[in-house]
Amino acid sequence: MFHGTEAALMDEGLTSLPEASADDPLEPLICRIRAGDVEAFGDLLARTEGRILALAWRILGDRHLAEDAAQETYLRVFRSLNSFRLGERFEAWMVRIAVNVCYDLARKRGPLPAPAEVLDGLEGDAAPMAAEEAVLLHQRRALVRQALATLPLAERTALVLRDLEGHSTEEVARILGVRPVTIRSQVASARAKVQAFCSRLLKPTDGGRP
Amino acid sequence: MTLHVLDQLPLWVEGDLSAADLAAVEHHLAKCPACHAVAERLRTSQVWLREAMQPPFVPIDHEHLRHAVMAQIRTEAAAKPVHRLAAIRPTLLAACVASLLIATLIWRQEHATVSLPPLGVPSALPAGSATQTAPVVTPPMARQDLARVAPLKAPLRRPEEPVSSPIEGPARIEFQTANPNIRIIWLAQAKPLPEMNPTPLEAP
């Protein structure tokens, strides 16, 4: 991915992953797996599967596709574990693989389908007040997911990694193999689009640029 | 106040601005209600984003994933133990190189000590001729044990031809050098003396 920028980034050393902390708990597991202890991979899974599943779901926006992506990610991790350089952050390496898998699956699937439930629920209905709040919450969540689904894949990935996965801008840049300024630009654009999407649908008469 | 900070607000909302830019934006927001409203909406949408994107997976989903992945990995590891092979690859390579070297040395040694035909006095020569024709030979190499006097080749003479002279046919001397591919062959034949038929002296 990002083949066009790879050469320029190599010169700046930006394609390398973030460095691992001195007491990375995953490193002993990696050594055991490399030594042939296949069962140690189960421990690795147990420690990381939540984040990988969440990441795949946030990028792909589909539960079943996310499960497929997570499975494929772990298989790729297992097959290419010998190419991982100790000293780099293993989780960042795995996230990079997961993002690539998600891109592959997203390319195969095509554009994200808009969730049909979103706009249906915006109209008023005769639900009781107690249930109305829950319905509104559900609608709002679906709306935000739809807003995310309308973003270009690169912006969506940058936003997910930066704002939802909690990586710093520099870490996201290294994971994705682009410059930090690119990530900053993509994230800013994505935030503005999500805000505009939500404002337009939830409060059509309110807001707008000064 | 004409310059708004709308372009910087998406970065401001998550603290992505430098200290100088942050101070400038904060200063502007304190005075500009329009920009302040947009900033508030951005904050709200970020909260909604985090709330909406909570993953829907439960522990049973994790377990399913773990089982599926481990089953596949065990199958792959059993079919092709990549990691163990990778670990022993250098040893395997070194063993192969050592075997090849030893085989080469044995082969060279065998070819260097190829047994020569047995030394002997050529049978085609009559007794005593060998001593006549074979000169004293000084082998050029230090390995004198490999030098020998080879038998004369019989087909040089037709079988029906009678042996006319005890010194007929060349003496064949071979030297086997230390190099098995180099053999020095020396053919020596003494020329017969010119005939000494006495011519009658002319009478004066």
Burial class (CB in 10 A: 0-12, 13-18, 19+), A59: buried
CA angle B124, B126, B128 (to 5 degrees): 130
User: Which chain A positions have a beta carbon within 8 Å of B39's beta carbon?
Assistant: none
- Residue A10 inside a domain? The answer is yes
Contacts of B49 (CB under 8 A, 6+ apart): A144, A148, A159, A163, A164, A194
Mean pLDDT, chain B, whole residue set: 74
Instruction: Supply the pLDDT for residue A9.
Output: 38
Complex prediction ipTM: 0.79
Which residues of A fall within a CB distance of 8 Å from B13? 191
Is residue A117 one of the residues assigned to a domain? no
User: What pTM, to 2 d.p., does this model score?
Assistant: 0.62
Q: Which residues contact A41 (CB under 8 A, 6 or more apart)?
A: A29, A33, A74, A78, B69, B70, B73
A97 falls within a domain: yes
Residue B174 carries which side chain, given as an amino acid letter? E
Shortest CA gap A127–chain B (Å)? 22
Top-confidence residue, A182 or B189:
A182
Weakest-pLDDT range from A17-31, A101-115, B51-65, B96-110: A17-31
Over range B134-145, report the average pLDDT: 54
From first CA to last CA, the distance across chain B in angstroms is 158
DSSP A10-68: HHHT-SSPPBPPTT-THHHHHHHHHTT-TTHHHHHHHHHHHHHHHHHHHHH--HHHHHH
A180 in a structural domain: yes
Weakest mean pLDDT among A58-62, A115-119, A144-148: A115-119
> What average pLDDT does the segment A174-187 reach?
95
Q: What is the pLDDT of residue A115?
A: 54
Asked if A58 contacts A40 with a C-beta cutoff of 8 angstroms, the reply is no
Q: Which chain B positions have a beta carbon within 8 Å of A34's beta carbon?
A: 83
pLDDT digit string, tens, across residues A122-169? 444 445 566 888 888 888 899 899 999 999 999 999 999 999 999 999
Whether A77 is covered by a domain: the verdict is: yes
Name the residue with tokens 């004369």. Answer: B152
> What are the DSSP calls for chain B, one per residue?
-----GGGHHHHTTT-S-HHHHHHHHHHHTT-HHHHHHHHHHHHHHHHHHHHT-----HHHHHHHHHHHHHHHHHHHHH--HHHHHHHHHHHHHHHHHHHHHHHHHHHHHHHTPPPPPP---TTSPTTHHHHHPPP---SSS-GGGEEEEPPPGGGS-TTS----TT-S-EEEEEE-SSTT-EEEEEE-PPPPPP-PPPPPPP-
Say what the pLDDT of residue A200 is: 77
**For chain A, how many structural domains are there in total?**
1
Q: Residue B68: closest CA among chain A residues belongs to which residue?
A: A71
Query: Can you give the CATH number for the domain in which A62 is found?
Result: 1.10.1740.10
Partners of residue A38 in chain B, C-beta under 8 Å: 73-74, 77
**How far is the CA of B51 from the CAs of A142, A146, B90, in angstroms?**
11, 14, 53
Report whether A208 contacts B6 (CB < 8 A). Answer: no
**Highest mean pLDDT pick, A46-60, A103-117, B182-196:** A46-60
Q: Is B48 on the interface with A (CB under 8 A)?
A: yes
| Structural domain for A188, as ranges | 3-112+150-202
B88 touches A: beta carbon within 8 Å: no
The answer to the question of residue A142 being in a domain is no
Does residue B116 or residue B67 have the better pLDDT? B67
Q: Cβ(A114)–Cβ(A201) under 8 Å?
A: no
CA gap B104, B146 in Å, rounded: 23
Rounded CA separation B14/B9 (Å): 9
A182 lies in some domain:
yes
Residue of higher predicted confidence among B150 and B170: B170
Q: Please tell me if residue A58 touches chain B, with a CB cutoff of 8 Å.
A: yes
Q: Is residue A71 part of a domain?
A: yes
- Which tens digits make up the pLDDT trace of B22-59? 999 999 999 999 999 999 999 999 999 999 999 999 99
Contact predicate B6/B38, CB 8 Å: yes
**Contact call for B57 and A50, based on CB within 8 A:** yes
